[in-house]
């Protein structure tokens, strides 16, 4: 069988064995389709069925999460944790609380996390979890009771050497606090390294909150440098206005970029003078409100209900909200408006058609597996501090993050070159990540 036919068969099998999980199919196809040249170079990976094994999660847990709302009414949600691959370290990956969550979303995220975590060079395996619980509009008490119930089942599957969750959409410091409190109570252990994204007041790493956004900008800086350019003076558009978007905007502005738009699931804020990041922080982090209230009645900012952020002209476009939020039409609009760099702060935000369009148009395209890896890399730095009962300064940790993002860029760039696709970070990230995992799996024998 030819290598291409072999890869096609693997993808077909994944689709057949995991019916209806379209995001998972998409994530597997995206990686598998780039691995042909690796199999050609390394027949041992085919012989030992490494790709087939990587596509099957090591473990998956689905559980009931009952809790009581403020009216004492019983609510029932579904919880998930998928430990996809532990070849390089304990399972590591965030928890997502969003109504769109189902097994297919968690599996796509956990699958991507395997390669992302491998690219960081840190000793962490790939996992993801979450629930279809919607934190929007819930009281603190409701969120706390939900988190306690969620952890009451999940705790038995976790451990600093087994599985270490963190945040993702809908899960930030508040939720990590409730989850950690319940874990500590049930297990009778102050096991700091069992969760990352903790508050720095009780074991969290400084910079973890900022790390995905900051890391994304460090990566973009390297992409521009590789093309003989700098960030200074450029115009950017960011989607979303959550954790990743806010700190990406903050770092962009600090490095001389004008960020003219951001969004949430209801609409877009276009502020040609530059987004007021402190105002977005207040709305999103303190008030837990909607972007609609940004700049109400003042300045030149415009709120566009249901608008598309990608229609606003920019040179740098950073999707930082959710999967498949940037499609072919949007990609065409961006390229038409002179966009030169796209880097994914979110996981799989760009559809396959849009990705191909960017690459064919010569736009520098940074896939999430590389570009947003600063978050999980800083989680690994948090685990390191917890293991040594140490706490590093902000400056020291940020410097480590910058070095890690530079190394990720250099590795992806070098591997893309080696495989005859210079400047193609999709190929570079997939192959660099895959090689690390595949070699470890081979070393362990048939497990």
User: Which residues are known to be catalytic?
Assistant: 128
Q: Is 74 exposed, middle or buried (0-12, 13-18, 19+ CB in 10 A)?
A: exposed
Residue 93 touches which of ligand 2IT, ligand NDP, none (Cβ within 5-8 Å per kind):
ligand 2IT
Query: Starting from the edge strand earliest in sequence, which strands make up the sheet with 163-166, in order?
Result: 59-68, 74-85, 126-131, 91-97, 163-166
At which residue do the structure tokens 């990587």 appear? 54
Residue 275 touches which of ligand NDP, ligand 2IT, none (Cβ within 5-8 Å per kind):
none
Contact call for residue 264 and ligand NDP (CB under 6 A): yes
Cα Rg of the chain, angstroms: 21
Integer Cα distance of 4 and 321 in angstroms: 33
User: 60 with 139: CB under 8 angstroms?
Assistant: no
Contact call for residue 240 and ligand NDP (CB under 6 A): yes
Q: In the complex, what is the shortest distance from the CB of residue 167 to ligand NDP, in angstroms, rounded to a whole number?
A: 5
Contact call for residue 131 and ligand NDP (CB under 6 A): no
Q: In this chain, which of 114, 244, 357, 415 binds ligand NDP, going by CB under 6 A? A: 244
- Nearer of residues 108 and 310 to ligand 2IT, judged by Cβ: 108
Interface positions with ligand 2IT (CB under 6 A): 92-94, 113, 116, 166, 168, 196, 347, 375-376, 379
User: 197 with 293: CB under 8 angstroms?
Assistant: no
- Nearer of residues 111 and 178 to ligand 2IT, judged by Cβ: 111
Stretch that binds ligand NDP, among 32-40, 65-73, 161-169, 310-318 (CB under 6 A): 161-169
Residue 92 touches which of ligand 2IT, ligand NDP, none (Cβ within 5-8 Å per kind):
ligand 2IT
- Nearer of residues 42 and 92 to ligand NDP, judged by Cβ: 92
User: 374 with 215: CB under 8 angstroms?
Assistant: yes
Q: How far is CA 435 from CA 107, 190, 363, in A?
A: 21, 36, 26
- Nearer of residues 39 and 268 to ligand NDP, judged by Cβ: 268
Residue at shortest CB range from ligand NDP:
242
Helix or strand (DSSP H, E) at 320:
none
Q: In this chain, which of 79, 89, 126, 170 binds ligand NDP, going by CB under 6 A? A: 170
Contact call for residue 83 and ligand NDP (CB under 6 A): no
- Nearer of residues 38 and 223 to ligand NDP, judged by Cβ: 223
DSSP 390: -
User: 425 with 367: CB under 8 angstroms?
Assistant: yes
- Nearer of residues 42 and 251 to ligand NDP, judged by Cβ: 251
Q: In the complex, what is the shortest distance from the CB of residue 76 to ligand 2IT, in angstroms, rounded to a whole number?
A: 25
Q: Please say whether the dihedral angle defined by the alpha carbons of residues 19, 22, 24 and 26, taken in this order, is positive or negative.
A: positive
**How many residues can be counted in the chain?**
447
Stretch that binds ligand NDP, among 21-29, 198-206, 243-251, 402-410 (CB under 6 A): 243-251
Integer Cα distance of 9 and 22 in angstroms: 17
Integer Cα distance of 299 and 86 in angstroms: 51
Binding site for ligand NDP (CB under 6 A): 94, 98, 100, 167-170, 212, 240-245, 264-266, 320-322, 345-347, 372, 375
């Amino acid at each position: 069988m030819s290598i291409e036919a072999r890869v096609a068969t693997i993808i077909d099998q994944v689709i057949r064995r995991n019916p209806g999980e379209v995001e998972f199919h998409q994530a597997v196809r995206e990686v598998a389709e780039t691995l042909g040249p690796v199999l050609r170079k390394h027949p041992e990976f085919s012989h030992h069925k490494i790709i087939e094994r990587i596509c099957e999660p090591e473990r998956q847990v689905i559980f009931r999460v009952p809790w009581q709302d403020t009216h004492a009414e019983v609510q029932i949600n579904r919880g998930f944790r998928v430990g996809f691959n532990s070849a390089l370290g304990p399972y590591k990956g965030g928890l997502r609380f969003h109504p769109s969550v189902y097994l297919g979303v968690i599996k796509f995220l956990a699958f991507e996390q395997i390669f992302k975590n491998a690219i960081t060079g840190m000793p962490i395996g790939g996992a993801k979890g979450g629930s279809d619980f919607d934190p929007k509009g819930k009281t603190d008490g409701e969120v706390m009771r939900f988190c306690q119930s969620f952890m009451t089942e999940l705790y038995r599957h976790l451990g600093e050497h087994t599985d270490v969750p963190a945040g993702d959409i809908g899960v930030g410091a508040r939720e990590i606090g409730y989850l950690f409190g319940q874990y500590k109570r049930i297990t009778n252990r102050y096991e700091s390294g069992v969760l990352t994204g903790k508050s720095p007041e009780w074991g969290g790493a400084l910079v973890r909150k900022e790390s995905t956004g900051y890391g994304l900008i460090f990566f973009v800086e390297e992409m521009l440098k590789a093309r003989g350019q700098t960030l200074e003076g450029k115009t950017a558009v960011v989607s979303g206005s959550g954790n990743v978007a806010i700190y990406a905007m903050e770092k962009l502005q600090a490095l001389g970029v004008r960020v003219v738009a951001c969004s949430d699931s209801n609409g877009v804020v276009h502020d040609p003078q530059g987004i007021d990041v402190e105002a977005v922080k207040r709305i999103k982090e303190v008030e837990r409100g909607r972007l609609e209230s940004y700049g109400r009645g003042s300045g030149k900012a415009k709120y566009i209900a249901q608008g598309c952020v990608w229609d606003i002209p920019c040179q740098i476009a950073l999707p930082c909200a959710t999967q498949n939020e940037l499609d072919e039409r949007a990609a065409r609009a961006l390229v038409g408006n002179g966009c030169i760099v796209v880097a994914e702060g979110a996981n799989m935000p760009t559809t396959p058609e849009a990705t191909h369009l960017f690459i064919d148009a010569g736009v520098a395209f940074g896939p999430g597996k590389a570009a947003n890896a600063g978050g999980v890399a800083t989680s690994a730095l948090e685990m390191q501090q917890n293991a040594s009962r140490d706490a590093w300064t902000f400056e020291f940790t940020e410097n480590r993050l910058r070095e890690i993002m530079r190394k990720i860029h250099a590795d992806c760039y070098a591997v893309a070159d080696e495989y005859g696709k210079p400047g193609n970070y999709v190929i570079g990230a997939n192959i660099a990540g895959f090689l690390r995992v595949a070699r470890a799996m081979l070393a362990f024998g048939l497990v």
